[in-house]
Amino acid sequence: MTPNDHLFQLIKSLTASEKRYFKLFAAKQTEGPKTNYEKLFDAYNELPDGSSYNEEKFAESLKEKKLGKYLSDEKKYLTELVMKAMRHYSAEKKAEGRLADMIQEMNFLIEKGLFDQCAKIAEKAWDIAEERELTDQKVKLLYIKREIDKQDYSPARETYQNELRKQEEAAITQLSAEREAAYLREQLYGIYITTQMGQKAAEVEKIYKALDQLHQQPDITFNCTHNIISAKCIIHDHRKEYCKAIELLKYMLGRWEATPARIEEMPDRYVKLVSHLMVFVFRIEDYKEIPLVIEKLNSVKTLEKDVLKDIFFLSITAKLFNYINNSKFNLALQMVGDIKAGLKTFDGLLSFIQKRVLRSNICLIYLKNKKYADVLDAVQEVYALVGRSKEKQLRLEDIKVFEFIAHYEMGNVELLHYTVRNNQRYFKDHQPDNAFIENLWKALKTFIQDGNKPKVAKQQLKTHVQALDCPPGNIALKQEIVGWLEG
């Protein structure tokens, strides 16, 4: 990203509700007609999502709108205005933002000697910090309370000061635990993301014990608990202790739901936690839990488009697996239209992985309904999405198997043999560490050579696939292959 891209990227990163707020905020700054800064904001916003930004072309387009005469200065001012608006937006929407503003107000009132007014704000601020368990803000508020109390020299002052000191010591202890939990989680995540969980087993075990000790401390805060459980779930996933992870996540979701205001202020974090629950539910194939997941997702009330696209993605995935697990393939087929509409609506917000999974789901739906020609069309759409990226090609194990099954069922013998040869060679050259995929394509090659005895060959392939050791990421694919061979 070049420096000229910064304002473009900033405006494109805003959610729909943030953009609406900016427009209202900007309009309040002037009483007259729309300013050039507002028009410049609209011009940036009208640029297609996901497009690359060209400063020269953009400046040329502004001339037609009689804008951009002093583009450099206008961009600088607009950037400042957007950031100012977002600070106000955060202050109105999130408790942390409101408290930050209240603390600034109290510091101003203290400077002016207006301690009675300051005390009233301090009590309201303390209630918010207590409800949300915002420890760092509580420490700042206790300092302000001490400043206010300096004006009172009544006999009860010493008792009150001792109480403030106890509260501050407790808050600092909690804050220390929060920071330690966050540090341990980041340390663990670094090991996880670099796929060193096995090599660094001793270090992982040490982190787990440290997390457990923190978890057992009395009066740990919501944020501390959230980090501890998030980190523990990474370890439980590595150890394949999926039920333990589900138990922890349900507990944490209960903590969120006990304070609905938290979900309203941070719906993205809540939805992410629900998605983790869904992953572990899929791991243990306990699909009776899926309606609970869908219910939690549907309970989130938000206008944040980036959160809505995650809810859409997760709900579609959950409903699909629920239908397929209960053999309701016709209901799954009815979802294709909604999936395609969602792909279009959230095109600029969905990640590559989400787009790829949704298109993979379309392939799976057609496969379950034995619409093999549609499977092949959907497979081509996935290939078009991936393009020539080798890294992304490596994530197409399921798509290539769906393509194989469709060619087999349609009797495309030549294409079937080509698919096997091509994919066996490709995965051998580019993904030697995945023994499951390598052995699977060897088995599929043997399978198509036994064309004279298809039933026997299917049974042999089923037995062979069931015996293959499978990493968590390929469990669903293994199940689909076995299900097809049984069908």
Break the chain into its structural domains and give their ranges. 1-93, 384-487
- The residue behind tokens 């299900």 is 483
Local confidence band at 50 (pLDDT 50, 70, 90 cut-offs)? low
Q: Enumerate long-range contacts of 379-382, CB under 8 Å, 24 or more apart.
A: 379/403, 379/406, 382/356
The pLDDT of residue 431:
56
* Average pLDDT, rounded, for the chain: 85
Residue pointed to by tokens 């909604």: 338
**pLDDT number for residue 306:** 83
Q: What is the pLDDT of residue 1?
A: 42
When pLDDT is cut at 50, 70 and 90, the band that residue 47 belongs to is confident
pLDDT in tens, 476-485: 788 888 888 8
Rounded to 10°, the helix 435-449/454-467 angle is 170
Given a cut of 90, is residue 36 above it in pLDDT?
no
Three-state DSSP class for residue 209:
helix
In this predicted model, what pLDDT tens digit does every residue of 250-308 receive, in sequence order? 999 999 999 888 888 888 899 999 999 999 998 887 788 888 999 999 999 887 888 89
**How far is the C-alpha of 370 from the C-alpha of 470, rounded, in Å?**
26
347, 352, 355, 356: CA torsion to nearest 10: 160
Which residue type sits at 45? N
Given this model, what pLDDT does residue 163 score?
A: 85
pLDDT in tens, 323-369: 888 889 999 999 999 999 999 988 888 888 889 889 999 999 999 99
Residue 234: how many other CB atoms lie within 10 Å = 21
Of 64 and 77, more confident? 77
**What pLDDT does 93 receive?**
62
Q: Which amino acid is at 322?
A: N
Please report, rounded to a whole number, the percentage of residues in the chain having pLDDT higher than 70.
91
State the pLDDT at residue 285.
79
Name the residue with higher pLDDT: 274 or 82: 274
User: How far apart (Å, rounded) are the C-alpha atoms in residues 195 and 235?
Assistant: 12
CA distance 256 to 269: 10
* DSSP conformation class of 48: P
Q: Do 472 and 283 touch, CB atoms closer than 8 A?
A: yes
Residues shown for the chain: 487
Percentage of residues in the chain with pLDDT exceeding 90? 30
What does DSSP assign to residue 52? P
Calpha distance 130→95 (Å, rounded)? 11
Taking only the tens place, the pLDDT of each residue in 383-417 is 888 876 666 665 677 888 888 889 988 888 888 88
Q: Do residues 99 and 137 lie in contact, with contact meaning Cβ atoms separated by under 8 Å?
A: yes
Cα–Cα distance for residue pair 399/378, rounded to 1 Å: 9
CB contact at 8 A, 41 and 58: no
pLDDT greater than 80 at residue 315:
yes
Give dist(CA 165, CA 390) in Å, integer. 60
> What separation in angstroms does the CA of 328 have from each of 319, 406, 475?
11, 20, 21
Spatial contact of 78 and 115, defined as CB atoms under 8 Å apart: no
Distance CA 267, CA 305 (A): 11
* Residues 187 and 207: beta-carbon distance below 8 Å: yes
Question: How far, CA to CA in Å, does 198 sit from each of 40, 177, 203, 474?
Answer: 52, 27, 10, 19
- C-alpha to C-alpha distance for 446 and 436, rounded to whole angstroms: 15
pTM here is 0.68
Can you give the pLDDT at residue 244?
A: 95
